[in-house]
Amino acid sequence: MTDIEIKVNITKKISYERLSSILVGYFEGNPSANDTMIKYTTVEPLNWEGLKETRTNGKVWFYCYPFNEGGAIILHERENWTESDKPPRQLRLDITTIVRGLRILEEKYPHHLEAIVEGNDDCWTSSALVECALYGDIIFG
C-alpha cells in the first residue's frame, strides 16, 4: 500500500500561552540565543489585557510582554556574532514580529509550524520561530 501526500489548508488558533512557552524554550533552552544575544530588555506594554503571568515576587515574566499591546522584548546582539562587519543591533520581538515569524514558518518550514500547533516543539522549533520573527529566516539551524 502506498501513501498519498496532499497539502491541506486549515485554520488553527495558537494561544498566547502556547506561544509564550515557545519563547521560554528559545531563551532558556537554545544555545543560539546565548551565542548571539548579549542581553534582553523589555518594553512595558500599554496595558496588560493579553497574557500576564507573574513570578513569586509579583513581577511579570518577560516572555509575557510581547503578548500585550505595545509590549516587547528587545534582544541586544552580541558584537561580532556574524562574519559581517555589521554593528550589533537591538531587535524587537513583539506580537507583530511573532506573527510574521509564524507566517514564514507556514510558507517555508511547515514542519516547524506543525510542531508548534501539535505541541511537539523543541529548542529547534523555538529557534526557528524567533529567528524567522527577527531575521525573516532561519539563521542558525
Query: Domain limits of the chain?
Result: 16-135
Residue 25 has pLDDT above 80, yes or no: yes
Instruction: Read off the amino acid at residue 75.
Output: L
Query: Which residue(s) pair with 74 in the sheet?
Result: 41, 92
Asked if pLDDT for residue 107 goes beyond 70, the answer is: yes
pTM reported for the whole predicted model: 0.87
Give the pLDDT confidence score for residue 141 in this predicted structure: 67
Provide the mean pLDDT of the chain.
Answer: 89
CA distances from 46 to 43, 72, 77 (A): 9, 11, 25
Q: What is the pLDDT of residue 79?
A: 73
Confidence class for position 77, pLDDT limits 50, 70, 90: confident
Band (pLDDT 50/70/90 cuts) for residue 83 is low
Higher pLDDT, 31 or 17: 17
CA–CA gap between residue 30 and residue 16 (Å, rounded) = 20
- Structure confidence at residue 30 (pLDDT): 74
Residue 131 and residue 126: Cα distance in Å, rounded?
8
